[in-house]
Structure 1
Amino acid sequence: MTGQLLENLSTMRTPALGEQLLQHLNARPWLILLDGLERVLVSYHRFDAAQIGGEDGGGTDQIAERDFCAAIRPEDNELLCALAGPKPSKFLITSRPVRRWELNKATALLEELDTEIPDLPPYDPAKNEKFPCEDEVVAAIEKLRAEKEAGTASEEAEAEYRMAGNRPILEEPRKPQTAHCGKY
């Protein structure tokens, strides 16, 4: 993505890497798969010793006092919230536990569209083109969301959504996404 050597990037800290990543994700569309995101969440670890700095070592385990839906490192929470913003790139995230940014103020899950992921047509990000069927998918999703919000979602709208590709990785990020990051 960046054209830089891995050893150059491995010396950078998370905020600097995050800024660089966001620039590339905003510059052109990328399809990013974050598989097993639960591994960065507090709930996945009983004791996050690998993430504790030397000055904190030997102290008591603070995990019982932490939000189990949050990431182990605060800068990871910030990066994940930044990734949720609107951009041409798309994300497919897998996780078993619920993530903090998918909960509302009452810690209830926000509504999501359950869809199947069929085989994707070929796509070459090096060509700097849109994802296949992106315009049709976005239009169908926006129409379905508007009808669901108005309480008038029809079978026709859902069929149009399915015919437009039925690819959740092509969906635009949900509009209230920034609210998931604690900005209520």
Structure 2
Amino acid sequence: MYIEIVEHGTVGAGQQVVHKRPRRLNVPISGIFADNPHVSYRLRVQYFGVSGTTLGRILGVVLHLFPYKVQFTRRILPSTSLEIWKTVTQPHFWKEILMTNEAYFTLSGGAWKISAFAAHDIYEPSLHHQKVTTWGDVCPETIVGSFFFIDGETVDGNRYRWMLDHVCPEMREKALDGY
């Protein structure tokens, strides 16, 4: 048994098969990524005929490129505020709301941390963080929001209805710039 471990690296019979990626594959991948950075990961895997894991390792270890999650954002410009204003001033714009959502943000940014090297060092943040709730909605023509609520208040049905009945007409009356 000792001889098998020394010769083969295992107690089982036979040698271990080590799959090595040919170095010639690194060069075309780096060239293709530089030429067209907008091609999807799946299409690149099919094009090169390698597994997704292999392509990921080439991207990360060799080329130092790391995939990221694509998020759609909308930049608010001065011209955008006119669109929002037109939407809000419609008498029944709240009937056209497609989707609403809220998000919670902690102001401390802390988290429970335990060091793997020194397990006796524990960083314990406070149990009740200061929170800010932000709310927004999506209409067919524009995005309305963000509205901020302090102390982590949840936007339930009553607050939402109150906001539609009181806040939006009040904004119309005050003719707020930029909204």
Identify the structure with bigger relative contact order (alpha carbons < 8 Å, sequence gap 6+). 1
Which bin holds the TM-score, normalised by the shorter protein? under 0.3
Calculate the TM-score normalised by the size of structure 1. 0.23
**Higher-strand-fraction structure:** 2
